[in-house]
Chains A and B, each alone.
Chain A
């Protein structure tokens, strides 16, 4: 009887993506339990137990992955900012070894950190909202995982672009800066890779709980509900408000020469990112 039960549980655990050492451990504990109780019926349906394992492990894992991704990216962000700050004079734009690659790297250096920051912040906001949930709906976990993945991917892209930039403009940048950039980027990519690996492992587990994912306004309720504008249910209005805020910062930071151009670029970049990634990251329906 218990042999049959264990076979069924093994198959059900595999069906929800729980394999390897975790599955072996669950089966060993179940075998020990059934040996003591002698009643497989009281243990619960294999499908129910497997689904519960998947829901609890996926919820906890996705939440932890979101927080660790943000922390890892915060550290990478410091490295990135310091490297930026160490450049006293920027090299001539056309002095790159391969101009299209250099342009791509420079564009990525500007855009990817902002996407990483926004996605990482949203992942943490989602994790915080779900902090006391033992099992969250599968749709909710999917969104949380996507946000972490986009944050880590963009963070890694930003770091890689910095290394490419250092290589492309080797003739116009100090040698010590290049060496520092390569070493720092390499060191910062290691924890990003570890966090991505942990997220990938969690993604293999397929939660089963039904229900809808919350939206942007649920995640940012403590902030959004204090703004005296009707934003709930109007994601594009929220996007325009954020874009205007980012543009204002770029305008002030860029000064009279570069400010207006930077502000327009930032405004359009925020809107484009919202259009391109908004649905994927659960920001709009």
Chain B
């Protein structure tokens, strides 16, 4: 999938992955690849600016945690992020349903 196509939906995808559990950047990217069966592959570093921006917008929060002998930044959804995700899911389902009805 083209990176530009994915870019428009990246925030939604990141929020959806973090809805399950708080986790760090590398795990988020791996999960993105796993759930999309490798379709969502983009330069891994491009996910971090989005995570920082979502945190600045109050949709995510993060803190340092120690794991495997290293410090790592763990991201989690805020209540505002949960509300944003619910709204985005609703919008997305409506959109895909409408597109499906047109192109099927």
A positions within 8 Å CB-CB of B = 25-26, 28-30, 32-33, 35-37, 42-45, 48-49, 52-53, 55-57, 60-61, 64, 134
Select one of B45, B53, B56 contacting A49, CB under 8 A.
B45
Task: Report the 5 A-B pairs with minimum CB-CB distance, sorted nearest first.
Answer: A44-B43, A44-B45, A43-B45, A49-B45, A56-B49
Which residues of chain B are within 8 angstroms of A37 by Cβ–Cβ distance? 26, 44
Cα(A30)–Cα(B51), bound, Å: 13
For A52, list chain B residues within 8 Å (CB): 45-46, 49
- State the main secondary structure of chain A at its contact with B: helix
Per-position contact with A for B21-35: 1 when CB-CB < 8 Å, else 0? 000111001000000
Chain A residues positioned under 8 Å from B57 (CB to CB):
60
- Out of A35, A43, A53, A55, name the residue touching B70 (CB < 8 Å): A35
| Cβ–Cβ contact B53 & A29, under 8 A | no
Residues of A within 8 A of B48 (CB): 26, 29-30, 33, 49, 53
Query: Which residues, 14 to 65 on B, are CB-close (under 8 Å) to A?
Result: 24-26, 29, 43-46, 48-50, 52-53, 56-57
CB neighbours (8 Å) of A60 from chain B are 53, 56-57
Complex Cα distance A28/B72, Å? 8
Complex CA distance for A32 and B66, rounded to whole angstroms: 11
- Name the contact of A43 in the complex, choosing from B43, B49, B56, B72 (C-beta under 8 A): B43
> What is the interface size of chain B, counting residues whose CB is below 8 A from a CB of the partner?
21
**What residues on B are CB-neighbors of A57 within 8 Å?**
49, 52-53, 56
Tell me whether A33 and B50 are in contact in the complex, defined as CB-CB below 8 angstroms, given that A28-B71, A60-B57, A134-B11 are known contacts: no
* Inter-chain contacts of B83 with A (CB < 8 A): none
Residues of B contacting A53 with CB < 8 Å? 48-49, 52
Q: Which of B26, B48, B57 neighbours the largest number of chain A CB atoms within 10 Å of its CB? A: B48
- CB-CB under 8 A from B24, the residues of chain A are 29, 32
How far does the alpha carbon of A91 sit from the alpha carbon of B26 in the complex, in Å?
Answer: 68
Query: Are B50 and A32 in contact (CB-based, < 8 A)?
Result: no
B29: which A residues are within 8 A, CB to CB? 33
Which B residues are CB-close (under 8 A) to A48? 43, 45-46
A29, A43, A61: the one contacting B73 at CB < 8 Å is: A29
Contacts of A25 in B (CB 8 A): 73
A residues less than 8 Å from B73 (CB atoms): 25, 28-29, 32
Using Cβ atoms and an 8 Å threshold, which residues of chain B touch A56? 49-50, 52-53
